[in-house]
Structure 1
């Protein structure tokens, strides 16, 4: 009988090091721009995972501002996910093309509620799309009668308006000249066409590396599964202007996933679809042939994942990345490395193996912006974190990711755990450290950008002694570095 064992080594990040090369490149001279899909570029190769303790609107906004992108999880109602996507798209833009408005017949209480919900300080007032005024917090700050109509408090005379073709530079001059914070954009018929705000201009200056769409809005992705509501969910997410959909499952090389991708592509030919997860070249090829615009690689490598133990299935992550890249590059399709990444050096190795971007879960779960609960344990702050294959996550809706959508909660077979990670503060600080490590790696290897890094870098296999030598040793750490923790190894 032919042996079923393939005598081939599988490598992960601790098994190798990158070999330094002759270099003329300094880390500060490197460029981290990369492809998410062939239609979407990122300014840094980092994506926050579609996990319910990692990415909701706050994380997605923060990630896009830093140049990456967040994938909003699907462990919620369609309406909730759509709302989160909408909040990201409305959080800032060069020109708000579809601003939130109020009618003159609505009352002050309703106007206040709308401002509070969308965290804005003013609303254009329209009547059948015609601009008739603007109402701001200053107009109603001391108004005690909540039933008073908006028309009684709004500013309707001497409105400062501009045409659609107005540049942001001209808008900034007008805002300063008239000492106003909002500039109303109208078309030739006098209909409201958009809104330019001081805040958006300031944010453009504050976050010069932000990842934005052609209309100046932050980019955001959203996850869907292979459940019965997928078609409706995608439709609503497109309506909310989502930039790309992630068909997110534990085993992307399966008929249900491939059929879902083909169906979504047939219905929405212009929609960018990221699909996964797979761990082989065959899996990557199947996803691409089904219509995927990007392939997500990684089975069982995540910090909270137990698939390799519960099911005995997986491929060591570095090998999985290289196998998928060998196929995807021939078809000009980008690859995401998802899972097993603890340090910036691991990210560098994933990119050197050919991945275009990487996805982080546990590393970002301890941030201010993550939705997990903050807890105090033994005098230190932590945030809750769980895998989407954990019992808690599956009970709340992620069962379809592991093909257990119709399974009774009492009979679920989890492939993940629930735990906690150290609280680490705002995500921008961690992103700074991660990108700094990637840039250092490119400099050591003499590569200007990520594409060159994937083509020219060289690995060397190391032993367990080499791993020990790589970490700090024979010294007691008394002050932790911001990018290294001994508890992580």
Structure 2
């Protein structure tokens, strides 16, 4: 472990972002058509290692159904517009027209409407009736209040996602969410995060979570580093959490917790490198915000952008490049890694000589800063 002297009174470990590493091909290559990118969490199998971020700009009930049909998993944000308004279409159109700081204030106003518990059940039912796996997200702060409505509606996978989620939250104002007790009492697999260190991940795994999110979410749309100063480069974060998964397997007698890289992956190459560093799947938002079906209409934002007291996200403008199917499965008409994400992943694995995701996690990587 390389410690760098920042100054006489402070040392820090050198960490790496995804664009600072490269995947090394091996002596063997394979036919991309013979490569499997399927993964399974609990009883649910997916043909694609893609979990779509719970962001209103990307996931609506309609797009969740379409992503499920295409082989992935989309997570609906139960604290977003779809549970605050019966029909948020006009508000989504308004958000797409907002400008500058006034836009942030208006976003806060729109999201100040109360969550309607009856809409939670209605949205989950919409997705379930389409016959795809249903996944929804709540923040740790809202989980105790709304989890019963979520379970009663018949959700398949429960995601507890915040900027940073810990197994031990200290508060003198209110009784914090006891993750271990909460997960133990549920009958559905729970994915929790984000976290970015070995120790935090190990504690989350000990709560009984089926999966752990690595990163602080938001990706292209969050400004957490600027506002809070909190940042851990993703290649290092994923590798550290993958090490926690390995050690937890030994500690627990073989229980496997899935590692899901969350945020900061805008291209197919980023996705391949995240899996090479040890993730089982990736949670992405911005690549699919470019889809013609995306509710954000070319704009992308996360829950951080409308925080009532300290917004730490922004709306990002993206050009539409194709349909959800084209972005995930191709064919691609551009050479920048924004389309045919899964075809590119298969080709990377084939080039490196691996036939499935678990094998590919063992691929050799090198430190290779952009331009080198």
TM norm. shorter chain > 0.5: yes
Q: Which residue in 2 is equivalent to 1:199?
A: none
For residues 322 and 461 of structure 1, do their structure 2 counterparts lie closer, same or farther at Cα, with a shift above 3 Å needed? same
Superposed counterparts of 1:363-402, under 5 Å? 363-372=287-296, 374=297, 383-390=298-305, 393-394=306-307
Q: For 2:54 and 2:17, locate their aligned partners in 1 and report how far apart those are by CA, in whole Å.
A: 23
Q: Which residue in the other structure is 1:222 paired with?
A: 136
Q: Over alpha carbons, which structure has the higher Rg?
A: 1
Q: What does residue 89 of structure 1 align with?
A: 128
Query: 5 Å matches for 1:18-417?
Result: 18-35=23-40, 37-74=41-78, 75=80, 76=83, 77=115, 78-91=117-130, 217-227=131-141, 229-253=142-166, 255-256=168-169, 259-268=177-186, 270-299=187-216, 302-330=219-247, 331=249, 332-372=256-296, 374=297, 383-390=298-305, 393-394=306-307, 409=308, 412-417=309-314
Give the deviation of 1:230 after TM superposition: 2.4
The residue number in structure 1 matching 2:3 is none
CA drift of 1:251 comes to 0.8
Cα root mean square deviation, aligned: 2.0
Q: Secondary structure at the match of 2:120?
A: helix
- Distance in 1, matches of 2:15 and 2:216, equals 13
1:444 aligned residue: 351
Residues paired across the two proteins, number: 309
- Which 5+ residue runs of structure 2 have no aligned equivalent? 1-6, 84-114, 171-175, 250-255, 330-339
Deviations 1:46-93 (CA, angstroms, capped at 9, x unpaired): 1110111111211111111111101001223333232222111102xx
User: Secondary structure at 1:23's aligned position in 2?
Assistant: coil
Q: Is the 8 A contact 1:300 1:307 kept in 2?
A: no
Question: Taking structure 1 as reference, are residues 40 and 253 closer, same or farther at Cα in structure 2, changes over 3 Å only?
Answer: same
SS at match of 2:26: coil
Q: Provide the rounded CA distance (Å) in 2 between the counterparts of 1:338 and 1:66.
A: 20
Does the CA-based 8 Å contact 2:218-2:313 persist in structure 1? no
Residues 10 and 219 from structure 1, CA distance in 2 versus in 1: closer, same or farther, beyond 3 angstroms? same
Contact 1:31 1:448 in 2 (8 A): yes
Question: Secondary structure of the residue that 1:303 maps to in structure 2?
Answer: helix
Instruction: Answer yes or no: is the 8 Å Cα contact 1:385–1:418 preserved in 2.
Output: yes
